[in-house]
Structure 1
Amino acid sequence: MISVRVQPEPFDPGAELVALETLGGGAVASFTGIVRGEEGPGGGLVELLLEHHPGMTAKAMEAIAADAARRWPLLGIVLVHRIGAMTPGERIVFVGTASRHRAAALEACAFLIDWLKTGAPFWKRARFADGTSQWVEARAEDDAAASRWV
């Protein structure tokens, strides 16, 4: 089972985990990303806006999920990524994997989130308390983490 969703609505990580647990494996691994209230040039972050190309984003996410399914013996994958405006503390991304054994579930989960951080076609704009905004640039640390899967 592979489920890939790009949506503006909030998601429930607990419900996503239950769906993976019902697949009958011995391991479920997950990552939930949350919008940080980080400091920026204009004070604290008040909004993170995620934009995407609808056809391109879903296809790219489906392709990487299929790649993970080829690399590891998985029973299920759930990828949920939000788009639109979000505030600090809101959930932005969920990655879940199910397998018969923990190593496959954990490794595939790490692979998927590393790829989502670097290869998924999303554009982020941060808006700060003073009204200024800026596009969020890619981070070298994220590229380095993703490079281990090449």
Structure 2
Amino acid sequence: MTAHATPLVRIQREDFDTEAEISRLTRGRADIGAVVTFTGLCRDEAGQLAALELEHYPGMAEAEISRIAAEAIERWPLQGLSAIHRFGRIAPGENIVLVVAASAHRQAAFEAANFMMDYLKSRAPFWKKEHRTDGSEGGWVEAKETDDAAAARWRR
């Protein structure tokens, strides 16, 4: 792979293996000096969430995330970039999203991973609905203003 690596984007129902994804990017590579990973988990701070249900438009979500990943590859000298996002019912403590950025230097890997997560948190075409432990459903979860502000800092 060159500095113009092709990013890997997957939208999947099943869980992912973080170590396997890191290995996929780094195996046999001597030009990578830094790998930054971010794993987002389903959380339940109030103790009332049974599951988070994530929906997306197949095809559209992959295309949008691929577009942002290509922008990250253009902006930072990366040897590899992966973005994996799950859909379906996800229980508290389970994985939701993984970003892996590989570069010769740590700063590029950190910035690219941060850029990807700011986008995924605020603008990725996913809809989230809460299912509570009492059997009721919460509404669709809106993006927070703080997430939008974090993503806005990357605008050119």
TM-score bracket, normalised by the shorter chain, equals: over 0.9
Tell me what 1:93 maps to: 97
TM-score (norm: length of structure 1): 0.94
User: Is 1:122 paired with 2:129?
Assistant: no
Distance (Å, rounded) in 1 between the aligned partners of 2:90 and 2:45: 13
Tell me what 2:14 maps to: 9
Which of the residues 26, 34, 38 maps onto 1:31? 38
Q: Confirm or deny: 8 A CA contact 1:20 1:28 kept in the other structure.
A: no
Q: CA deviation at 1:119?
A: 1.2
Structure 1: 4+ residue segments shifted above 3 A: none
Q: Confirm or deny: 8 A CA contact 1:50 1:124 kept in the other structure.
A: yes
Which of the residues 109, 116, 135 maps onto 1:112? 116
Tell me what 1:21 maps to: 26
* Unmatched runs of 5 consecutive residues or more in structure 2: 1-5
- Number of equivalent positions: 147
| Secondary structure at the counterpart of residue 54 of structure 1 | coil
User: Is 1:141 paired with 2:146?
Assistant: yes
Deviation readout 1:73-113 (Å, 9 max, x if unpaired)? 00000100000001001000000100000010000000000
TM-score (norm: length of structure 2): 0.91
Distance (Å, rounded) in 2 between the aligned partners of 1:14 and 1:142: 27
Q: CA deviation at 1:20?
A: 2.2
Q: CA deviation at 1:17?
A: 1.3
Q: CA deviation at 1:56?
A: 0.7
User: Is 1:79 paired with 2:79?
Assistant: no
**Root-mean-square deviation (Å):** 1.0
Deviation readout 1:31-78 (Å, 9 max, x if unpaired)? 000000232xxx610010000000110000110010000000000001
